Amino acid sequence: MLNPTKVKNDFPIFRRKIDGKEIIYLDNAATTQKPKSVIDAIKDYYENFNSNVHRGIYKLSEEATDMYEKARKNVSDFIGGNDQNGLVFVRNATEALNLLASSIGQSLKRDDEVLLTLMEHHSNIVPWQFLMGKGVKIKYADLKEDGTLNMEDFTSKITQHTKVVSVTHVSNVLGTINDAKELARISHEKEATFILDGAQSVPHMPVDVKDIDCDYVAFSGHKMLGPMGIGGLYGKPDLLSKLPPYMGGGEMINTVTTEGSTWADIPLKFEAGTPNVADAIGLSAAVDYLKNIGMKEVRKHESEMILYAFQEEKYMENLKSFGPRSLHLRGGVYSFNIGDIPSFNIQRELEANSIRISRASMHPHDVASEIDKEGIAIRSGHHCAMPLMARLDVQATARASFYIYNSKEEIDKLFIGLQNATARFGH
Amino acid sequence: MSEDIAYEVMMDHYRNPHNYGTIENATNRITEYNPICGDTVHLEMIINEGRIEDIKFVGRGCSISQASASILTETVKGKSISSLNDLTDQKYLMDLGVSLGPARERCALLSLNALRKAIAGDGTAP
């Protein structure tokens, strides 16, 4: 069984104290901390192997290329990819989704449709909105009151015009786990390309792209113990091969003449310029660390954490938490508010329900600011999901998101911190 | 003024905001959001002969952003627009008297930035 206190010892940052207090880090949906093995792998690369890849015919470059391609294979295997050439290294999930929207977008025409959901992160909304200028329509599948996707609404919004369906696997606000396999099946039935935003799932649960049968999946390394600035786009190799390139430059070409150019094979076709070799190797070390624990164990631990939060929240007056209550539909993301924090509306503000007057509410920034004084890091705001905030009719939420180094004792401290914060705030 | 007292003053503005509301015959209006967190301040004012004759606000956000909006309306009401040139971010934050840190300083400056935009003329009526 996963022992979070033991896991914590592998992470140098937790030796640090801030104002004499241990760090309780509950913002893992934003980014995760790095184990020593990841930091060492990056250091080792720069100290012993640094050189440019795929170019030099000298020893250093051959070794670096070998390490980079082994990292690709390791990351590809981790998500169940059956061909490492389907794994393109990108900066993060955002870049992967921009690449897809741009390259797939080239073949989209006026009145073609892209289907998203109302629980998407801005990175799976804005790149698609770039296509609206050429007449592409964006549709959004609605949620049910329990925070799960409304499958009837989703199905009704796929039409013969739907060319792309792009959906998050796990909501970064509600923690909702979407049935990716079923969504892929429905999408393919309508001959739409199915894209999975795996930024909040790949780090937290077993993900098998073959089993899901998704056409593409996007994820970020830094949310799964890896370094910042590296992430993955996995695509079915036959689809990736047909997709036009995103950025031009070195590495991604076959030949260049003054008349024009031809493209390299995948994955290099999508990796213009010198790649982020060190961080790809760091991400591979993160994958090794997670494999060693086992993704089923990671998932089980986070389920226990969210269940414990459900049990403890009862003692907190005025706390409202969001997202599905069934553990099998819920990742380790816990969004909540103290009292009601409705979205801004001048007329409504002028009525006597302002939170300044209502002592039952405490704005999430104030919540986060107050418990920061006790060394607890949580997020507050719209979590880059403003359409979801509007749908929930909240301006913002506070959010605690769990990972392998978080313990039940830390959840206790979170709720004690919240009790103290509301007391100080004059409730 | 000690920092504790300054903080209490801010909390009092948050709980009992001054100049809260709208102005029917406002000459300038603006709704400003902090894109990082969604905090919102809506300002309405009457500017006449280079002077802010009246100013009110409506908003929703954290205690710092809303208290700051209330304090700002008190600070600038009746003042000439030219005198606002001296009200730099730094001076405004100093006058609040609370050390906020970079993240919350943005909350405190939301209403001041809104005021500058409204006066510059890109204050859009929502």
Q: What is the pLDDT of residues A100-134, one digit of tens each?
A: 999 999 999 999 999 999 999 999 999 999 999 99
| Residue pLDDT, tens place only, A176-232 | 999 999 999 999 999 999 999 999 999 999 999 999 999 999 999 999 999 999 999
Q: Among partner residues B17, B40, B107, which is closest to A365 by beta-carbon distance?
A: B107
Contact A103, A246 (CB under 8 A): yes
B126 within a domain of the structure (yes/no):
no
Test A349 with B37 for CB contact under 8 angstroms.
no
**Are A241 and A368 contained in the same domain?**
no
CB neighbourhood size of B29 (10 A): 16
Task: Determine the pLDDT at residue A358.
Answer: 57
**Candidate list A384, A392, A396, A404, residue with the active-site label:** A384
Total structural domains within chain B: 1
- Chain A: give the shortest CA distance to residue B120, in Å: 23
Number of structural domains (chain A) is 2
Examine the domain organization and report whether A187 and A267 are in the same domain.
yes
CB atoms within 10 A of CB A65: 18
User: What does residue A362 show for φ and ψ, rounded to 5 degrees?
Assistant: -140, 120
Residue of A351, A353, A356 to mutate, testing the B interface (most B Cβ within 10 Å of its Cβ): A356
**Chain A residue closest in CA terms to B11:** A425
Looking at per-residue pLDDT, the higher value among A16 and A358 belongs to A16
Candidates A163, A92, A171, A154; CA nearest to A387 is A171
The average confidence (pLDDT) of chain A is: 95
Q: Which domain holds residue A261?
A: 38-291
Domain containing B77 — which CATH number?
Answer: 3.90.1010.10
Residue B32 falls inside a structural domain: yes
Same domain assignment for residues A313 and A255: no
A374 vs A1, residue with greater confidence: A374
Residues A334 and A238 reside in one and the same domain: no
Q: What is the pLDDT of residues B3-14, one digit of tens each?
A: 889 889 999 999
- Cβ neighbours of A382 (radius 10 Å): 25
Q: Does B47 touch chain A (CB under 8 A)?
A: no
Chain B residue with Cα closest to A353:
B60
The answer on pLDDT for B126 being more than 80 is no
List beta partners, residue A334: A400
Q: Is A381 within 8 Å of B38 when comparing Cβ atoms? A: yes
Q: What is the pLDDT of residue A356?
A: 52
For residue A343, pLDDT beyond 80: yes
Choose among A350, A395, A396: nearest Cβ to B58: A350
Task: For residue B17, say if its preceding peptide bond is cis, omega within 30 degrees of 0.
Answer: no
Q: Does one domain contain both A75 and A181?
A: yes
Asked if A169 and A318 sit in the same domain, the reply is: no
Domain hosting B78: range is 3-121
**B62: closest CA of chain A, how far (Å):** 5
Q: Which residue from A minimizes the CA distance to B36? A: A381
Residues of A in contact with B8 (CB under 8 A): none
Kindly tell me if the per-residue pLDDT of A376 is higher than 50: yes
Alpha carbon distance B4, A85 (integer Å): 60
* Residue B58 to residue A346, Cβ atoms within 8 A: yes
Write down the pLDDT at residue A359: 58
Res. B125 pLDDT band, cuts 50 70 90: very low
Pair A226, A324 in one domain: no
Specify the CATH number for the domain of residue A405: 3.90.1150.10
Q: What's the CA dihedral at A264, A265, A268, A269 to 10 degrees?
A: 60
Contact A369 B104 (CB under 8 A): yes
Respond yes or no: is residue A214 known to be catalytic: no
The answer on A200 and A137 residing in a single domain is yes
CB distance A280 to A260 below 8 Å: no
Report phi then psi at B92, rounded to 5: -60, -45
d(CA B79, CA B82): 8
Residue range B27-50: mean pLDDT, rounded: 91
pLDDT band (50, 70, 90) for residue B36: confident
- Percent of chain A, pLDDT > 90? 92
Say yes or no: A383 contacts chain B, CB-CB below 8 A.
Answer: no
Of A222, A257, A291, which marks where a domain is finished?
A: A291
Tens-digit pLDDT profile for residues B89-122: 999 999 999 888 888 899 999 999 999 999 987 5
Residue B10 lies in a domain: yes
Domain endpoint, select from A264, A291, A318: A291
State whether A184 and A170 are in the same domain: yes
Please name the residues in contact with A406: beta carbons below 8 A apart, sequence gap of 6 or more: A4, A24, A25, A26, A28, A305
Domain shared by A275 and A417, yes or no: no
- The CATH number covering residue A287 comes to 3.40.640.10
Q: Contact, A308 vs A154, CB < 8 A?
A: no
- What number is the average pLDDT over the span A147-162? 98
Q: Are residues A319 and A225 in the same domain?
A: no
Q: Is A426 on the interface with B (CB under 8 A)?
A: yes
Least confident range of A23-27, A342-346, B112-116: A342-346
B66 touches chain A (CB under 8 A): yes
Asked if residue B85 is part of any domain, the answer here is: yes
Q: How far is A360 from chain B (nearest CA, A)?
A: 12
Q: Looking at the predicted structure, is the pLDDT value of residue A53 above 70?
A: yes
A349-374 per-position pLDDT tens digit = 777 555 554 557 899 999 999 999 99
Q: Is A346 on the interface with B (CB under 8 A)?
A: yes
Question: E strand or H helix at A120, and its extent?
Answer: none
Q: Is B100 left (phi over 0), alpha (psi -120 to 50) or beta?
A: alpha
Q: What is the pLDDT of residue A73?
A: 98
- Bridge partners for A308 per DSSP: none
Assess B23–A contact: CB distance below 8 Å, yes or no: no
Average pLDDT over residues A36-61: 95
- Structure token pair of residue A275: 């790649």
B94 located within any domain: yes
Which tokens sit at B12? 């009092």
Give me the interface pTM, i.e. the ipTM: 0.84
List chain B residues with CB under 8 Å of A426.
11, 15
Contact A356 B66 (CB under 8 A): yes
User: Rounded distance, CA A312 to CA A411, Å?
Assistant: 8
Domain edge (last residue) among A266, A291, A316 = A291
Question: Are A298 and A283 members of one domain?
Answer: no
